[in-house]
Amino acid sequence: MSVRGVYTSVNQIRKMVFTEVAKLSYNYKDGDLSEMELIPYRIIPGEVSTYRESVFLERAIVRERMRLAMGLNFRTAAEHAPVSTGAEECVKPEKYYQPPLINVIKFACHSCPENQVVVTEQCQSCLAHPCQEVCPKKAISFVHGKSVINQEECVKCGKCVDACPYHAIVHLERPCAKACGMHAIHSDEYGRADIDQDRCVSCGMCLANCPFGAIADKAQIFQCIQAIRSDTPVYAAIAPAIVGQFGPDLTLDRMRSAFRALGFADAIEVAIGADLCTLQEAEDFVKEVPDRLPFMGTSCCPAWSVMAKRDFPQHAECISMALTPMVLTGRLIKKEHPDCKVAFIGPCAAKKLEASRRTIRSDVDFVLTFEEVMGMFEAKGIDFTELETHNTMHGASGDGRAFAVGGGVASAVANVIKEKYPDREVKVERAEGLDECRKMLMLARSHKYDGYLLEGMACPGGCIGGAGTVNPIAKSKAAILKNQENSSCKHAYESSFGDRITDLTE
């Protein structure tokens, strides 16, 4: 069980931090960042703590969240300096953040147990002792009739958990580590969560599942708003998962007006790029599989792609080299508006690193999550019901708009192959979550999926389960599928942008 899909105080604090940083950027002038010192007192007012044992600790954590939201490094409890220290470095209308992307604010971490099976007070001292009977290591004894587990002998098999008729035995796992499909989280010398940055692929599942709000990614809110306020037009490239993320009042036909209200020149749906990616992957699959490659993996999820190439280097070339929808849309926008900047608006933390790659950073200037953009809407006080409506976005296919849902990418590619190469069989397998993706690749390595198209998604449910989403996954899926049905064309091969693929990939 995780906190995903439940709006909590952690979500509320994140929203307030993003809102205040957005206000700071919209109002910024003449190098004055003194307002940063006041923001923690607006978010955490008064003298009595609300969430933790100390109001001072609450404000200290907010300060570090502010720094991360501006792309700056957080400080440890041993460092003393104003929150604005070094902030002048990031006050610029261009991409900026100090790596790493995903960070643990150490003094916010609860030092959760890594992996323990423990007996709770619900133990009823039953006569049967089924927990003891099923324990393969004889690690359970009884003291005053109560079950006691010898942690040195326990192998965490969970048999006692299942056997207890009162559910009095529980398996405790650190939530962030449990959610990490890369197994990149361990404990530091004080028992606090620590991220192995060499293993981390920045999927963000740890930050989405930490119930203490101790993990956060760095953002480019301040810099993006500074670019918006400059003379350079900034276009919002909005990911397919955006449907329904900002509540029922921000419908797709109000989306362009909403982003213009934030100061963007216009909003273009990345589903157009999804259609182009589909066409490219379909052609690559037909040409390469199985003559040159035993299988082909989809390209659009950066966390899956990095994991696959890093952990299975002998099959790295089996992961599609097709440009992702984000990159194709960014290139399309810059072809039509050569002097503009592009901000990708999506659900994904890993896209921030993808956009920073040397070969891509000229195509996409900023990456903001839906959660961060919600802070911008709050900062501007935009009432969605008052926005002008547009009859359509830009004519992407239903399949392109369904990229956000698990299975949507592979289905879109298969539909193109069936249309263009009707005699070609397309076998598909897919996985969600990096642990499941790894299992899929292990089977592929053993030739279980020869001739297959493999879809990998790092997040549960697909992009709609990304770390930067606002909506519950099930609710988002329903909105995406409805939007797919309402599209003017069904499949990528019907896209009016299909003839642009060569121009964008040369």
Q: Does 150 have pLDDT greater than 70?
A: yes
Hey, what are 310's tokens? 């890093």
Higher-scoring residue by pLDDT: 416, 81: 416
Spatial contact of 502 and 333, defined as CB atoms under 8 Å apart: no
Q: What percent of the chain has pLDDT over 70?
A: 98
The structure tokens 């693929």 sit at: 501
Work out the pLDDT band at 180, boundaries 50, 70, 90: very high
C-beta of residue 265 within 8 angstroms of C-beta of residue 235? yes
Per-residue pLDDT, 59: 97
Q: Is a pLDDT exceeding 50 seen at residue 465?
A: yes
Q: What is the DSSP string of 194-249?
A: EE-TTT-----HHHHH-TT--EEE---HHHHHHHHHSSS-EEEEE-GGGTTTT-TT
Give the residue among 62, 46, 53, 49 at the shortest CA–CA distance from 13: 62
Cα–Cα distance for residue pair 395/365, rounded to 1 Å: 24
pLDDT > 60? residue 326: yes
Kindly report the CATH class assigned to 223-505: alpha beta
Q: What percent of the chain has pLDDT over 90?
A: 88
pLDDT tens digits for range 469-490: 999 999 999 999 998 988 889 9
pLDDT at 1: 37
For 355-420, where are the alpha helices, taking DSSP H only?
Answer: 370-380, 398-401, 408-420
pLDDT confidence of 394, banded at 50, 70, 90? low
CA–CA distance, 216 with 201 (Å, rounded to integer): 14
Average pLDDT over residues 304-328: 97
- 217 vs 69: CA distance, rounded Å: 8
What pLDDT is recorded for position 152?
94
The pTM assigned to this predicted structure is: 0.94
DSSP string covering 74-141 = P--TT----TTTTGGGG-SSS---PSPSEEE-GGG-----SEEEEE-TT----SS-HHHHH-TT--EE
The H or E element spanning position 457 is strand 452-457
Q: Is 60 exceeded by the pLDDT of residue 84?
A: yes
List, for residues 190-239, the tens digit of each pLDDT value.
Answer: 999 999 999 999 999 999 999 999 999 999 999 999 999 999 999 999 99
Indicate whether 2 pLDDT > 70.
no
What integer best gives the mean pLDDT of the chain? Answer: 94
| 76-85, 157-166, 455-464: least confident range | 76-85
The residues spanned by each domain of the chain are: 9-92+98-110+183-218, 115-173, 223-505
Q: Which residue has the tokens 């995406």?
A: 480
Q: What is the mean pLDDT of the segment spanning 7-36? A: 95
Q: Which residues contact 189 (CB under 8 A, 6 or more apart)?
A: none
The string of DSSP letters for 7-69 reads --HHHHHHHHHHHHHHHHHHH--TT--GGGGTHHHHHS-SSS-SSSS-HHHHHHHHHHHHHHH
Report the C-alpha gap between 46 and 43 in whole angstroms: 10
Write down the CATH number for the domain with range 115-173. Answer: 3.30.70.20
CB atoms within 10 A of CB 122: 11
Q: Is the pLDDT of residue 3 over 70?
A: no
